[in-house]
Amino acid sequence: MKNLILLPGFLIIALLAACAGNNTPASSNSPSPSSSTPPASSNPTTPASGEKVSFSVAQSIIQSRCFMCHSGAGARVGVNFDNKDQIKKYAERIKARAVDSKGMPQGNATGMTDAERQTLGTWITQGASLD
């Protein structure tokens, strides 16, 4: 019974520790993400020049790489990506933090790839369409 009580506490601590990280940008020599991190279900390749990036592709990346800390009532710093309007609202901030500075996800905890960052950047540069 005692173990059943401790397990949720350990899970909460592990989740908070994963979101806490330091606030320095991830370097290109950072270790590869653990195999337990699910790949984004979007096309992992960089979009061809002029190719339109759909909202569904951008949303898939955001769900795979950002939801750990930015969804639900406990979303960090009040930035919540649970719906398309919120994602659109924070598009420029996503570009600044995840694409330009590579500071998010913190410590690259979810293993966001450079191709995913570029795809998000392209979607935002194209106007962050919700189509």
The answer to whether residue 108 sits within a structural domain is yes
What is the Cα 25 distance to its own chain's centre?
A: 14
pLDDT score at 59? 97
Report how far residue 89's alpha carbon sits from residue 45's, in angstroms, rounded to the nearest whole number. Answer: 25
User: What are the 10-residue block averages of pLDDT along the chain, 131 residues in total?
Assistant: 51 46 43 45 60 96 96 87 96 98 96 98 97 88
Q: What is the pLDDT of residues 37-50, one digit of tens each?
A: 445 444 455 677 77
The answer to whether residue 48 sits within a structural domain is no
pLDDT score at 26? 43
pLDDT score at 5? 55
Q: What is the pLDDT of residues 57-74, one digit of tens each?
A: 999 999 999 999 999 987
pLDDT score at 50? 76
The answer to whether residue 124 sits within a structural domain is yes
pLDDT score at 45? 59
The answer to whether residue 89 sits within a structural domain is yes
The answer to whether residue 72 sits within a structural domain is yes
The answer to whether residue 37 sits within a structural domain is no
Domain count, the chain: 1
The answer to whether residue 98 sits within a structural domain is yes
| Model confidence pTM above 0.75 | no
Where in the sequence is the domain holding 124, given as residue range(s)? 53-131
Report how far residue 41's alpha carbon sits from residue 101's, in angstroms, rounded to the nearest whole number. Answer: 23
